[in-house]
């Protein structure tokens, strides 16, 4: 049965607005030159318009390679972008992994002839992923070799560090606001203090969790190795307690609960879905029973 998957409507609208913005960036200097206004601008003003035009010229072509439609049928899978159309038969599909480059999340279909990718923002993407996985060779992720390394790309790691800095800056802003704001009554002062304390606790907790997010996760036959900005630790599989979705207050991903502490793994880690599947399979059977009892 033929089935078509397209970008979500909101994603398509956002991309269209970004493309429009870049086109405007490129058109502005031309329009100003045509009207004879460009040379009347100051040198910094002209530099800004030229920089924006170059930025638009460099970034705009990338949108032509984004897969906006995927179609599956009995013969195989077809990925369509503005500049190219790729097709592969089900028989040549060898693997499926989720990757992140420049913080761009996508699924990559590995075939005998190369790779085909599509973004995670497709409507009903999970259904598409399940369809592809049903056509994979026997043996899921948990059975592929004994050692496997999962890691962030450099842009995602930089963004993680930026979120840590942002958290501390926001805490400083809260207390600066508290110190400079003059309230008329004692009750208002206590209310503002309570808000500042609660907001600080939440932001500090969130910032610490993000700071401890692993940059690399290595799965071996004996243990789990985690490396973040500050340290590297290993845990035997018997120390693994649970793998749960992240809190709504944290970035999207899942948490790894061990005997000693928990770690958040962001969804922008390469093959994060495969890592999650492996970890769930590695949870000791006794612990799985305890987790089920706790849920009920």
pLDDT score at 180 = 85
Q: Are residues 52 and 79 in the same domain?
A: no
DSSP secondary structure letters along the chain:
--EEEEB-HHHHHHHHHHHHHHHHHHHHHHHHHHTT-GGGS-HHHHHHHHHHHHHHHHHGGGGGGS--EEEE-SSEEEEE-SS-EEEEEGGGEEEEEEEEETTEEEEEEEETTEEEEEETTBTTHHHHHHHHHHTSPS--GGGS-S-EEEE--HHHHHHHHHHHHHHHHHHHHHHHHHHH---SSHHHHHHHHHHHHHHHHHHHHHHHHHHT--SEEEE-SSEEEEE-SS-EEEEEGGGEEEEEEPPTTS-SEEEEEESS-EEEEETTSTTHHHHHHHHHHHS-HHHHHHHHHHH-
Q: Which of 93, 103, 171, 121 is nearest to 7 (CA)?
A: 121
Q: Are residues 111 and 8 in the same domain?
A: no
pTM: 0.68
Spatial separation of the C-alpha atoms in residues 207 and 165, rounded to whole Å: 8
Q: Are residues 26 and 79 in the same domain?
A: no
Spatial separation of the C-alpha atoms in residues 87 and 75, rounded to whole Å: 10
Spatial separation of the C-alpha atoms in residues 127 and 174, rounded to whole Å: 43
Domain boundary among 104, 124, 144: 144
Return mean pLDDT, the chain. 88
Q: Which residues pair with 218 in a beta bridge?
A: 149, 225
Domain boundary among 116, 144, 172: 144
Q: Are residues 187 and 217 in the same domain?
A: yes
Q: Is the pLDDT of residue 203 over 90?
A: yes
pLDDT score at 138 = 60
Angle at 125 between CA 114 and CA 244, to 5 degrees: 105
Q: Are residues 238 and 281 in the same domain?
A: yes
Mean pLDDT of the region 1-23: 92
In terms of residues, how long is the chain?
A: 296
pLDDT digits (tens, 9 = 90+) for 71-97: 999 999 999 999 999 999 998 888 888
Which of the four pLDDT bands, split at 50, 70 and 90, describes residue 143? very low
Q: Are residues 168 and 199 in the same domain?
A: yes
Q: Are residues 85 and 125 in the same domain?
A: yes
**Cα-to-chain-centroid distance, residue 17:** 21
Q: Are residues 289 and 184 in the same domain?
A: yes
Q: Is the pLDDT of residue 142 over 50?
A: no
Q: Are residues 107 and 166 in the same domain?
A: no
**Cα-to-chain-centroid distance, residue 107:** 12
pLDDT score at 146 = 64
Range of the domain at 204: 145-296
Q: Are residues 149 and 288 in the same domain?
A: yes
Q: Which residues pair with 115 in a beta bridge?
A: 110
Instruction: Scan for tokens 């018997």, then name that residue.
Output: 238
- What percent of the chain is modeled with pLDDT above 90? 51
Burial of residue 98 (number of CB atoms within 10 Å: 0-12, 13-18, 19+) = buried
Q: Are residues 166 and 184 in the same domain?
A: yes
pLDDT digits (tens, 9 = 90+) for 232-284: 999 999 999 999 999 888 888 899 999 889 999 988 888 888 888 899 999 98
Domain boundary among 14, 33, 64: 64
Which of the four pLDDT bands, split at 50, 70 and 90, describes residue 55? very high
Q: Are residues 129 and 224 in the same domain?
A: no
Q: Is the pLDDT of residue 144 over 70?
A: no
Number of domains in the chain: 3
């Amino acid at each position: 049965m033929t089935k078509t998957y397209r970008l979500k409507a909101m994603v398509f609208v956002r991309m269209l607005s970004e493309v429009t913005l870049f086109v405007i960036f490129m058109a502005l200097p031309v329009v100003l030159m045509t009207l004879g206004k460009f040379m009347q601008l100051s040198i910094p003003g002209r530099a800004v318009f030229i920089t924006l035009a170059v930025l638009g010229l460099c970034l705009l072509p990338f949108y032509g390679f984004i897969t906006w439609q995927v179609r599956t049928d009995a013969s195989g899978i077809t990925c369509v972008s503005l500049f190219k159309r790729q097709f592969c038969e089900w028989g040549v599909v060898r693997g499926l992994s989720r990757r992140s480059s420049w913080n761009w999340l996508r699924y990559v279909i590995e075939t005998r002839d190369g790779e085909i990718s599509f973004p995670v923002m497709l409507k009903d993407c999970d259904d598409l992923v399940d369809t592809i996985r049903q056509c994979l060779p026997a043996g899921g992720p948990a059975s592929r070799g004994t050692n496997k390394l999962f890691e962030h790309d450099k842009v995602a790691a930089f963004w993680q560090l930026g979120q840590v800095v942002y958290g501390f800056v926001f805490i400083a802003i809260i207390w600066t606001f508290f110190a400079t704001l003059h309230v008329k009554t004692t009750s208002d002062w206590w209310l503002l203090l309570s808000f500042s304390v609660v907001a600080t606790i939440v932001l500090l907790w969130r910032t610490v969790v993000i700071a401890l997010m692993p940059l690399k996760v290595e799965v071996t036959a004996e243990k789990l190795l985690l490396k973040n900005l500050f340290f590297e630790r290993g845990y035997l599989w018997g120390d693994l307690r649970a793998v749960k979705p992240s809190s709504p207050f944290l970035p999207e991903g899942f948490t790894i609960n061990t005997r000693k502490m928990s770690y958040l793994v962001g969804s922008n880690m390469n093959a994060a879905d495969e890592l999650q599947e492996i970890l769930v399979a590695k949870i000791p059977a006794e612990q799985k029973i305890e987790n089920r009892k706790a849920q009920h």
